[in-house]
């Protein structure tokens, strides 16, 4: 056995070696990633000692510093005397495959975190309607722990008796149609508090080789359902009023047509009755105006119903429940407004309302509406979590390309392991940082606005109780012709 190496041109290219190198084995071995050298040495040593086929995956560090994954398969070649004379094999560049595998692992982890932090209940039923997977949010919504549901059949005891027949029918139909999807609202038992409304979206993925089941995604629909019932009752009253108005309008139209016919026929004979006719028409107009005013009055309580109810309730318990409901509606409205705004700017690829701002005599170009939203969210965030009566500091600096703004507080701080999570949609941090009015959309909106303006934003914190600093960088506007930063005119 010698140190002579014979390779195809493609092999030299994949391994990043030169054909004119004197000691090609040493050059090859030195290019192997340090963490893989011992493994490769053992595999080749065993193949040479025992004559067994070998397969080994290792990394090569190219001369440009990049890492390339190699899959090598080979065997020992023997002489007529059964002596091992060399190793023969093939190599394959599997870097793209490795990158794809790592991306799949990352996506799986993202999905796991998304489900864990989702406020919705996620279940997977097998073909026998047995719950094979139940997300942790089940306990938050229904009071039952996931272990109480896992590996248990979907049964009637937890569904309201008036709803079970419809739910059972819809689910059984879903189970028989792979690829189909349903949406259903029903009452589900809460472990300690009667029944709650759930809205469930079911998707049949029984034929999917990974899922092999039906996915049920359920959310707490109780507050929305009660609001809908209240709205339906109000709309029913409005519809009745509209019907009354339509009947009166029809009657007035009929009377008006009849009146106009009679007036047309007798106009020449009733010149002397002009004042009486004008009086009659005036009375008709007053009647229509009064009718419209009277119909508008019952609509006012529909708009102001909840605040007026809270003011008028004397029972502390009932008033407390109404205030909780009012706060819940307010929080829900804010969350919807934030998600809509986030979705809008997620679909936006250009700024249509730009304005020029000067900082330290350098100009930056920002969206009028988004600039206000950007700094409001960052400053509000600093104020909200600065609970130790500390300080908030805002600093600005610039160079020819960037304007940098630092917003620092001495408040709660962020644990190192949760730094990246603050940019996630609906992320509200740990228990100490949670706020009922916050739905975790402020910082994701900030990041999207910064991206739209081709800037960067970073967050730094030394840990819990040690404050937080946000570092915002926005590009200085460059003059199109010269490429130089635009300076504030004297």
Q: Which long-range contacts (CB under 8 A, 24 or more apart) does 137-142 make?
A: 141/196, 141/198, 141/218, 141/219, 141/220, 142/188, 142/189, 142/190, 142/191, 142/196
3-state secondary structure of 476: coil
Question: Do 214 and 236 belong together in one domain?
Answer: no
Same domain, 202 and 236: no
Per-residue pLDDT at 105: 79
Is 340 inside a domain boundary? no
Output the CA torsion sign for 19, 21, 26, 30: negative
Q: Do 362 and 460 belong to one domain?
A: yes
- 138/116 Cα distance (integer angstroms): 11
pLDDT of 285: 35
Residues in the chain: 490
pLDDT of residue 247: 87
Q: Is the pTM of this model over 0.75?
A: no
- CA–CA gap between residue 383 and residue 390 (Å, rounded): 10
Instruction: Indicate whether 239 and 286 sit together in one domain.
Output: yes
pLDDT, residue 300, reads 37
Question: In angstroms, rounded to a whole number, what is the distance separating the alpha carbons of residues 56 and 90?
Answer: 11
pLDDT at 284: 37
The answer to whether 396 touches 359, Cβ cutoff 8 Å, is yes
Helix (H, G, I), strand (E, B) or coil at 270: coil
Q: What is the pLDDT of residue 303?
A: 33
* Whether 374 and 390 share a structural domain: yes
The verdict on residue 109 lying in a domain is no
Q: CA 196, CA 158: separation in Å to the nearest integer?
A: 11
First and final CA of the chain: distance in angstroms?
81
Say yes or no: 69 and 135 in one domain.
no
Domain boundary among 169, 195, 220: 220
Provide the token pair at 406.
């630092």
The residue behind tokens 């059972």 is: 168
Are 167 and 259 found together in one domain?
no
Mean pLDDT per segment of 10 residues, for the chain of length 490 residues? Answer: 63 72 75 91 87 89 87 83 77 87 76 69 90 88 90 85 91 91 92 91 90 90 86 87 87 82 76 67 39 38 58 78 69 63 69 77 82 87 80 87 90 86 70 54 86 91 88 83 54
Instruction: Specify if 337 maps to a domain.
Output: no
Residue 366 lies in a domain: yes
Query: CATH no. for residue 163?
Result: 3.30.450.20
Do 460 and 366 lie in a common domain?
A: yes
Q: Assess whether 88 and 168 both reside in one domain.
A: no
Final residue of a domain: which of 279, 297, 312?
312
- Residue 373's pLDDT is what? 85
E-strand spans in 423-480? 456-460, 468-475
Q: Tell me if 254 is assigned to some domain.
A: yes
Q: What tokens does 156 get?
A: 């009637």
Domain for residue 400, yes or no? yes
Distance from C-alpha of 217 to C-alpha of 80, rounded to nearest angstrom: 68
DSSP annotation of 67 reads: E
Q: What is the DSSP letter of 219?
A: E
The domain boundary residue, chosen from 163, 191, 220: 220
Note whether residue 155 is domain-resident.
yes
Give Rg (Cα) of the chain: 37
Q: Is residue 194 assigned to a domain?
A: yes
Number of compact structural domains in the chain: 4
Helices (H), 267-315: 274-296, 300-312
User: Which pLDDT value is given to residue 305?
Assistant: 65
Alpha carbon distance 173, 187 (integer Å): 19
> What pLDDT is stored for residue 270 in this prediction?
67
Q: What is the CATH number of the domain that holds 382?
A: 3.30.565.10
Cα–Cα dist 314/330, whole Å: 22
In which domain, by residue range, is 463 found? 354-475
* Pair (156, 180) in one structural domain: yes
Given a contact cutoff of 8 angstroms between Cβ atoms, the answer to whether 458 and 470 are in contact is yes
Please check whether residues 238 and 212 belong to one and the same domain. no
Q: What is the dihedral of CA 297, 302, 306, 310, to 10 degrees?
A: 30
One domain, residues 250 and 161: no
């Amino acid at each position: 056995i010698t140190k002579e190496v014979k390779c195809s041109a493609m092999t030299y290219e994949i391994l990043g070696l030169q054909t004119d190198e004197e000691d090609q084995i040493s050059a090859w071995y030195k290019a192997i990633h340090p963490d893989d050298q011992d493994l490769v040495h053992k595999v080749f040593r065993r193949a040479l000692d025992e004559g067994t086929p070998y397969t080994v995956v290792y990394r090569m560090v190219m001369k440009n510093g990049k890492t390339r994954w190699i899959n090598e398969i080979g065997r020992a070649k023997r002489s007529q005397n059964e002596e091992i004379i060399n190793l023969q094999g093939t190599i394959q560049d599997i870097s793209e495959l490795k990158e794809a595998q790592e991306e799949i692992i990352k996506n799986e982890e993202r999905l796991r975190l998304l489900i864990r932090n989702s406020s919705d209940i996620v279940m997977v039923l097998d073909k026998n309607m047995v719950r094979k997977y139940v997300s942790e949010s089940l306990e938050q919504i229904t009071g039952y722990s996931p272990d109480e549901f896992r590996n248990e059949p979907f049964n009637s005891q937890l569904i309201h008796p008036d709803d079970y027949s419809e739910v059972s029918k819809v689910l059984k139909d879903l189970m028989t149609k792979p690829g189909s999807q349903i949406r259903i609202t029903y009452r589900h038992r809460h472990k300690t508090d009667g029944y709650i409304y759930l809205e469930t979206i079911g998707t049949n993925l029984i034929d999917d080789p990974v899922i092999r089941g039906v996915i049920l995604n359920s959310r707490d629909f109780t507050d929305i359902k009660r609001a809908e019932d209240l709205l339906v009752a109000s709309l029913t009253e409005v519809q009745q009023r509209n019907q009354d108005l339509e009947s009166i309008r029809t009657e007035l139209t009929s009377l008006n047509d009849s009146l106009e016919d009679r007036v047309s026929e007798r106009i020449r004979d009733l010149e002397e009755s002009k004042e009486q006719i004008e009086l009659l028409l005036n009375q008709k107009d007053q009647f229509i105006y009064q009718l419209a005013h009277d119909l508008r009055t019952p609509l006012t309580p529909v708009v102001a119903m909840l605040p007026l109810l809270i003011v008028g309730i004397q029972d502390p318990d009932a008033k407390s429940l109404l205030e909780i409901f009012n706060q819940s509606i307010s929080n829900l409205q804010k969350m919807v407004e934030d998600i809509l705004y986030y979705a809008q700017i997620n679909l936006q690829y250009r700024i249509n309302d730009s304005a020029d701002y000067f900082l330290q005599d350098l100009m930056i170009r920002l969206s009028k509406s988004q600039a206000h939203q950007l700094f409001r969210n960052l400053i509000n965030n600093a104020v909200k979590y600065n609970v130790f009566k500390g300080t908030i500091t805002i600093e600005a600096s610039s160079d020819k390309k960037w304007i940098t703004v630092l917003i620092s507080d001495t408040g709660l701080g962020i644990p190192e392991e949760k730094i990246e999570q603050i940019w996630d949609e609906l992320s509200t941090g740990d228990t100490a940082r949670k706020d009922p009015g916050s739905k975790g959309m402020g910082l994701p909106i900030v990041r999207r606005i910064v991206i739209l303006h081709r800037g960067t934003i970073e967050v730094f914190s030394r840990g819990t109780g040690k404050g937080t600093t946000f570092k915002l960088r926005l590009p200085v506007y460059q003059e199109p012709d010269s490429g130089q930063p635009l300076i504030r005119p004297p």
